[in-house]
A and B are shown apart, each in its own frame.
Chain A
Amino acid sequence: MARFSGFGVTFKQMFKPRITGFYPKEKREKPERFHGRHVLNRYEDGMEKCIGCELCAGVCPAKCIYVRGADNSPDSPVSPGERFGFVYEINYLRCIHCDMCVEACPTEAITETKLFEFSFANRADAIYTKEELLVDDEGRAKRQPWELWLGGEDDKTSAWMRATSSSGDADYEGRVNWSGELGFGVREPEQGQSL
């Protein structure tokens, strides 16, 4: 009767819990290191973290980041230090969300959120400018009209988290090596690094 055993499989399946959920009404919790779209961060005093060094653009394997730095004016500096990111664009038609830019950034200016649901209708929208990438005064990502955020998604947007011992040195496990994020504070270290 082996050829009829398939009927048993499908019938039994009816009484098992569903695997799929009610997306987009209900969303699953994203993994800690989820790579969504980027944000450009600020310091607590509103200064931009980006210093226009172009390391992110240099390391980007997809060549999707375009940065131009400019000198800060001494009267109204945009970022602490000499220079700031004058132009900052990421082309999401090219970005592969590898997070290399985040690794390269010396000031933790660019990080990746957990937001990934955006569907632009034209190529211009696909290129996020500095205005769109920069977090607002509360440190939250700015919602673009073509992005779908539902039910408190932006509370979990700041998701960038680095392994506390990124060089593999066990002495640094569980010791936070990053500065706080505007609006989200200092994140706890990831659990389960020392398995």
Chain B
Amino acid sequence: MMLGAGDPLLSGKIDLTVVLIVIGKTVAVFAFLLVAVMLYIWFMRKVIADMASRVGPDTAGPWGILQSLADGIKLFFKEQSVPDSADRRVFFLAPYISLMTAFLAFSIIPIGGQVSIAGHQTYLQLADLPIGILFLLAMSGLGLYGVMLAGWSSGSKYPLLGSVRASAQMLSYEAAFGLAIVGVLVQAGTLSTRAIVDKQAWTGVGSLGTWYVIPAFVAFVIFLISAIAETNHPPFDLVEAEQELVGGFHTEYTGIRFAIFYLAEFMNLITMSAIAVTLFLGGPAGPSLGFLSATGAVNTWLMPVFWFVAKVMVLLFGTVWLRASLPRLRYDQLMDLGWKWLIELAFIWVMVSGVIIVGRNEGWNLIAVVPLSLLGGLGILGVLRASMPNRSELVEEIL
């Protein structure tokens, strides 16, 4: 029963209906993600075109909305070449590792509220794991294997370089990413995504303050930056820096296997946005339509999903905006940002919020505790920054 500890669907007797509901939810979430990726790619291309004074895809379907479907069909029927020097088994496996982890990570996202299907109460969420966030970290860690093995098994130098970059980058930012999440977990006191969302439930405009974006703002910013770096998106897309590495780790991939990498990449981005919404922006929380019955289908099914999708879309627009505006970071800038800023800031943020929470529980004087802990945190940051070697001095020494 570990898998569904939170979900009321799995707390009773497991009969055929329950199994069917779970299978139905799985299919629905999978289809939701695939359609979301398809639309996101179209949306991204359109918005970037707008920002570059271009028209963008406009031929396939109305406003070119079927462009990614057409691309997918084309890739599906293309020849799939495998380099002679490739490690064939791993080469075939790698794209599916990427896809699988990208999809599994999404399974813990609460998409909507609690609904009733065929007499069973259940969450609009594929799985409410009691260790949900740990599962997310595990999946984003495993996702690295897809990229790494793809580059390694291609038997070609640019994919290898790309995957080495990817491993270094994803490992570096995994730390900041995890610590930013801890910044929320410290306050929420639970690992279950459903419980985290419940703590940010909508009770009126005042509940905006309970969304962790306010009490954990620093963690939110660190999370966004490191999530984009985790998914290898611009401006952190050194992994596929075309000018240097051809296509990066997927240079040798063609046809549908390449499409799967592409799919997984954008799936990861959507998952990350969904995680950010879940952790910081209240997930499906939002005002329901007051003039309709609170137990009606619109307010139990539709409105939470609407709020969830709307928030995710705002974040996804942000990623497109980044892509259109920022040039790629240099490799040392990438490492500096990750190791010298984000990890420390996240660490200090966890400590400061820990102190504040303990202070609140123990009844310390918060007016004294909050500034003191902030000051202490800044002090630690200052000492750390001061103790770091200066790059230009280092370069001079070497020269």
As a 0/1 sequence over residues 15 to 33 of chain A, the CB contacts with chain B under 8 angstroms (1 = contact) are: 0111111100000000000
**Contact (Cβ within 8 A) A13 B50:** yes
Most chain B Cβ neighbours within 10 Å, of A10, A11, A17, A18: A10
Q: How far is the CA of A180 from the CA of B326 in the complex (A)?
A: 57
Cβ contact within 8 Å between A11 and B54 = no
Distance A118 CA – B193 CA, assembled complex (angstroms): 59
**Does the CB pair B55–A10 fall under 8 Å?**
no
Tell me which residues across on chain B come within 8 A of A21, comparing CB atoms: 55
Which residues of chain A are within 8 angstroms of B324 by Cβ–Cβ distance?
10
Q: How distant is A13 from chain B, measured CB to nearest CB, in Å?
A: 5
Count A-B contacts at CB 8 Å.
Answer: 31
Interface hits, A97-126 → B, CB 8 Å: none
Selected from B52, B53, B58, B321, the residue in CB contact (under 8 A) with A11 is: B321
User: With the chains together, A21 CA to B53 CA distance in Å?
Assistant: 10
CB neighbours of B325 from chain A (8 A): 6-7, 9-10
Check B51–A11 contact: CB distance below 8 A: yes
**Which residues of B are found within 8 Å of A13, using beta-carbon distances?**
50-53
- Look across to chain B and name the residue whose beta carbon is closest to the beta carbon of A14: B50
Tell me the dominant secondary structure on chain A's binding face: loop
Chain B proximity of A1: nearest CB distance (Å): 14
Q: Are A16 and B321 in contact (CB under 8 A)?
A: no
Task: Check B54–A10 contact: CB distance below 8 A.
Answer: no
Give the contact-size bracket for chain B: 10 to 19
The proximity string for A residues 73-116 relative to B, scoring 1 for CB distances below 8 Å and 0 otherwise, is 00000000000000000000000000000000000000000000
CB of B229, distance to nearest CB on chain A (Å): 18
CA–CA, A118 and B55, complex, Å: 24
Query: A residues within 8 A CB of B55?
Result: 18, 20-22
A153 to B51, CA, bound (A): 32
B44 to chain A, nearest CB (A): 13
Cα of A10 to Cα of B324 in the assembled complex, Å: 7
How many angstroms from the CA of A4 to the CA of B54 in the assembled complex? 23
Chain B residue numbers with a CB within 8 Å of A18 are 53-55
Complex: A18 Cα to B58 Cα, angstroms: 13
Q: Which of A6, A7, A19, A22 contacts B53 (CB 8 A)?
A: A19
A24 to chain B, nearest CB (A): 11
A20-B54 contact in complex given A6-B326, A14-B47, C-beta closer than 8 Å: yes
Q: Report Cα–Cα, A22/B50, bound state, in Å.
A: 14
B58-A22 in contact (CB<8A) = yes
Closest chain B residue, CB of each to CB of A13 = B51
List, in ascending order, chain A residues with CB within 8 A of B50's CB.
Answer: 13-14
Residues of B within 8 Å of A6, CB to CB, are 325-326
Query: From residue 22 to 60 of chain B, which have CB atoms closer than 8 A to chain A?
Result: 47, 50-55, 58
Give A14 to B324 CA distance when docked, in angstroms: 11
Contact status A19-B51, CB under 8 Å: no
A14 touches B54 (CB 8 A): no
Chain A residue contacts of B51, Cβ below 8 A: 10-11, 13-14
A3 to chain B, nearest CB (A): 10
Give the complex CA separation of A22 and B55 in angstroms.
8
Q: Which residues on the A side are within 8 Å of B58 (C-beta)?
A: 22
B362-399 vs A, Cβ < 8 Å mask (1 yes, 0 no): 00000000000000000000000000000000000000
Contact residues in A for B321 (Cβ distance below 8 Å): 7, 10-11
Contacts A/B (CB < 8 Å), 27 sampled: A6-B326, A7-B321, A10-B51, A10-B321, A10-B324, A10-B325, A11-B51, A11-B321, A13-B50, A13-B51, A13-B52, A13-B53, A14-B47, A14-B50, A14-B51, A16-B53, A17-B53, A18-B54, A18-B55, A19-B53, A19-B54, A20-B53, A20-B54, A20-B55, A21-B55, A22-B55, A22-B58
Which residues of A come within 8 Å of B, CB atoms?
6-7, 9-11, 13-14, 16-22
B interface, CB within 8 angstroms of A: 47, 50-55, 58, 321, 324-326
The 3 closest A-B pairs by CB, nearest first: A10-B51, A19-B53, A14-B50
Known: A13-B50, A13-B53, A16-B53. 20 other contacts (CB 8 A): A6-B325, A6-B326, A9-B325, A10-B51, A10-B321, A10-B324, A11-B51, A11-B321, A13-B52, A14-B47, A14-B50, A14-B51, A18-B53, A18-B55, A19-B53, A19-B54, A20-B53, A20-B55, A21-B55, A22-B58
